[in-house]
Amino acid sequence: MSANQGQNSMLSYRHSYHAGNHADVLKHLVQVTILDYLLQKDKPLCYHDSHAGAGLYSLGSEQAQKTAEYQQGIGRLWQYQAKAAQLARYLNLIHSLNPDNTLAFYPGSPKIAGLMLRPQDSIQATELHPSDYPILASQFARRRHSRIENIDAYAGFKAMLPPLVKRGLVLLDPPYELKSEYNDLVAGLTEAYRRFPQATYAIWYPVIERAAAEAFIAAIVGTGIKNQLRIEYCPYPDKAGFGMSGSGMLVINPPYTLADNMREALTELAPLLAATPPASVGDASLLWQVSQLVGE
């Protein structure tokens, strides 16, 4: 595949087809929990989003309606009253965007950051897609301490990291449409961490083929970066040719409370999104894992 073919393939990806699905629920639940922890301190922080997308998605759009993936994700949780604090916090943010109690919009990760961060905090984001970038940029046009660039994610690391503040969250969630994107992410992560080692890094990954997911995790562990936490949820059984059975977040420098927060939230969440309702809490626990991969 030529370089131009690779870029064209990456530029064909539109998250609007997938917004609000079960993978978004997990990704954004982890994001919200990390940001809540970082916001406990008065010092400003920086949020950096590597593959930011459009920022906000209409679930009534042609793209969202074509796949209807949100119906098996946020759609199942819309009227649910969560008990776990972080699951409730995440759902309250979604409701804040839909004040008439109709599920019409779902936020991407930069929009969630925009809802949560304070005026003194900074937001950085990169997005290559020519249609999504202007939509994203318009949402932050009036916000101080924001920098939204129409450049490649890994060029963005070199141009924008380290930020002026020395604490924050870097979120990486490429579409993984090309097999080369796995290697690109490992190389990009290594460069970003070298520049900004104080940050928390949250790396989203799909579970499509179990062997490929494990190889990717092993490659990140193999970087030698310390303090790695794996959070994974698979509401569908692993089957060859099925597609995405689940997804995970690999978190570097996680808040010390994150593992317990996620165990509590996933104990409650797992049966709600499962393809087949589990018979017991024990069965539901087979759908998810929270495990320390590399110690501090």
Which residues are identified as catalytic?
173
pLDDT at position 68 is 85
pLDDT at position 238 is 80
pLDDT at position 13 is 61
The 3 state secondary structure assigned to the chain is: CCHHHHHHHHHCCCHHHCCCCHHHHHHHHHHHHHHHHHCCCCCCCEEEECCCCCCEEECCCHHHHHHCHHHHCHHHHCCCCCCCHHHHHHHHHHHHCCCCCCCCEEECHHHHHHHHCCCCCEEEEECCCCCHHHHHHHHCCCCCCEEEECCCHHHHHHHHCCCCCCCEEEEECCCCCCCHHHHHHHHHHHHHHHHCCCCEEEEEEEECCHHHHHHHHHHHHCCCCCCEEEEEECCCCCCCCCCCCEEEEEEECCCCCHHHHHHHHHHHHHHHHCCCCCCCHHHHHCCEEEEEEECC
Torsion sign, CA atoms 17, 23, 25, 27: negative
pLDDT at position 203 is 98
**Residue pLDDT tens, the chain, 296 long:** 333 434 444 445 667 778 899 999 999 999 999 999 999 999 999 999 999 999 999 998 998 899 889 999 999 999 999 999 999 999 999 999 999 989 999 999 999 999 999 999 999 999 999 999 999 999 999 999 999 999 999 999 999 999 999 999 999 999 898 888 999 999 999 999 999 999 999 999 999 999 999 999 999 999 999 999 999 999 998 876 678 999 999 999 999 999 999 999 999 999 999 988 776 777 777 899 999 998 88
pTM: 0.94
Angle between helices 180-195 and 153-160 (to 10 degrees): 10
Q: Omega into 162 within 30° of 0, i.e. cis? A: yes
